[in-house]
């Protein structure tokens, strides 16, 4: 899967560097802070993001190339 998806950061534990992105439709994809595109290794819970989905090393799909975006209110 290489398409981009829109979603929101549902959970992010800064200390552990682990989180989950919730995509439209409620599907959640785990991610590690190294998957944040800008290299900051931090993203706030509730932030709107664009991401791709890749097969992870544990055999499950994970969010990757996570980019923070600004959505227009109500969209």
Which band of pLDDT confidence, cut at 50, 70 and 90, is reported for residue 73? low
Count the helix, strand and coil residues of the chain and give each as a percent rounded to the nearest 5: 5, 50, 45
**What's the predicted TM-score (pTM) here?**
0.86
**Class in CATH terms, 4-68:** mainly beta
pLDDT tens per residue, range 24-46: 889 999 999 999 999 899 999 99
Beta-ladder partners of 18? 13, 32
Which band of pLDDT confidence, cut at 50, 70 and 90, is reported for residue 75? low
Which band of pLDDT confidence, cut at 50, 70 and 90, is reported for residue 9? very high
Contact assessment for residue 27 and residue 20, using Cβ atoms and an 8 Å cutoff: no
* Mean per-residue pLDDT of the chain: 91
What residue ranges do the domains of the chain occupy?
4-68
């Amino acid at each position: 899967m290489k398409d981009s998806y829109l979603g929101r950061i549902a959970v992010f534990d800064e200390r552990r560097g682990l989180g989950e992105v919730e995509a439209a439709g409620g599907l959640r994809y785990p991610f590690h802070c190294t998957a944040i595109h800008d290299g900051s290794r931090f993203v706030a819970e509730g932030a709107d993001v664009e991401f791709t989905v890749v097969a992870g090393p544990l055999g499950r799909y994970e969010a990757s190339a996570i980019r923070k975006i600004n959505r227009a209110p109500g969209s």
